[in-house]
A and B are shown apart, each in its own frame.
Chain A
Amino acid sequence: DTGVSQDPRHKITKRGQNVTFRCDPISEHNRLYWYRQTLGQGPEFLTYFQNEAQLEKSRLLSDRFSAERPKGSFSTLEIQRTEQGDSAMYLCASSKTGTDEQYFGPGTRLTVT
């Protein structure tokens, strides 16, 4: 059973550097979501895709953030010019169209020093 996978699991970077994370959804799930979670809080929605189309973006997603899903399969989330406030767990989830349930990957923990 292949669940949602994310890579890398941990990333430490210096302020000002760019980072890119990858998410592979469950096969045949055509919806893919990105969330961010900081300590002591629930996850916050960032953006989501149906196939390759990006359908909604949160106001949390500043212009330093960009997400892509070029072939409707895996997705990447890039953060440019990282700031200490970007330190968080970045979670990816997927679901099938027509179903509500989203399944989460293990997350990428980003630390900006």
Chain B
Amino acid sequence: RKEVEQDPGPFNVPEGATVAFNCTYSNSASQSFFWYRQDCRKEPKLLMSVYSSGNEDGRFTAQLNRASQYISLLIRDSKLSDSATYLCVVNGRGTSYGKLTFGQGTILTVHP
């Protein structure tokens, strides 16, 4: 089983749609989680950290379910500029703190 698993998509949605991405992780001891966004042939950029209580940043909402080892990202009112690959990321613990483990990424295309 992969340490971090995502549905690779692709997701093709019209502008204005709401889209949700899911991710599962295998290490129940993991403590910190992120969503990164990566444009084609560019570096990953931090989109948001994911907190236990859930957090929202504008049109983006991240949720964490520790019991199910499940992370989600919801994008509301999709824009053309949201088209990218979304990477689910889990931070290591203890001596592996700082070692980020990335999912394969979920490709999103928003069309007019």
B43 interface residue, CB < 8 Å from A?
A: yes
Residues of A within 8 A of B105 (CB): 41-42
Specify the chain A residue showing the minimal Cβ separation from B99: A45
Specify the chain A residue showing the minimal Cβ separation from B48: A101
B44 interface residue, CB < 8 Å from A?
A: yes
B1 interface residue, CB < 8 Å from A?
A: no
B101 interface residue, CB < 8 Å from A?
A: yes
Specify the chain A residue showing the minimal Cβ separation from B85: A42
Given known A-B contacts A41-B104, A42-B104, A42-B105, A104 and B99 have beta carbons under 8 A apart: no
Given known A-B contacts A41-B104, A106-B43, A100 and B49 have beta carbons under 8 A apart: yes
Q: Mark A34-72, 1 if CB is under 8 A from B, else 0.
A: 010000111111001000000110100000000000000
Q: Is the interface of A mostly helix, strand, loop or mixed?
A: strand
Q: CB distance B34 to A43 under 8 Å? A: no
Q: CB distance A31 to B98 under 8 Å? A: yes
Chain B residues numbered 58-107 whose CB sits less than 8 Å from any CB in chain A = 87, 89, 91, 95-96, 98-105
CB distance from A55 to the nearest CB of B (A): 8
Listed residue (A33, A43, A103, A104) with the most chain B CB atoms within 10 angstroms of its CB: A43
Q: CB distance A101 to B46 under 8 Å? A: yes
Chain A residues numbered 93-113 whose CB sits less than 8 Å from any CB in chain B = 93, 95, 100-107
Residues of B within 8 A of A103 (CB): 46
Q: CB distance B100 to A45 under 8 Å? A: yes
Pairs across A and B, CB under 8 Å, 7 listed: A41-B105, A42-B89, A45-B101, A91-B44, A101-B34, A101-B49, A104-B45
